[in-house]
A and B are shown apart, each in its own frame.
Chain A
Amino acid sequence: GAGVSQSPSNKVTEKGKDVELRCDPISGHTALYWYRQRLGQGLEFLIYFQGNSAPDKSGLPSDRFSAERTGESVSTLTIQRTQQEDSAVYLCASSSGSVANEQFFGPGTRLTVL
Chain B
Amino acid sequence: EDQVTQSPEALRLQEGESSSLNCSYTVSGLRGLFWYRQDPGKGPEFLFTLYSAGEEKEKERLKATLTKKESFLHITAPKPEDSATYLCAVFRGNTGKLIFGQGTTLQVKP
Contacts and interface: CB of A to CB of B under 8 A. Distances in A.
Interface string B69-103: 00000000000000000010101011111111111
Contacts, number: 67
Contacts of B91: 99-100
A4 interface: yes
Interface string A10-40: 0000000000000000000001010100000
Nearest to A45: B97
The bracket for how many chain B residues form the interface is 20 to 34
B42 interface: yes
A67 B34 CA distance: 25
A31 B91 CA distance: 15
Interface of A: 4, 31, 33, 35, 41-45, 48, 55-56, 58-59, 91, 93, 95, 99-108
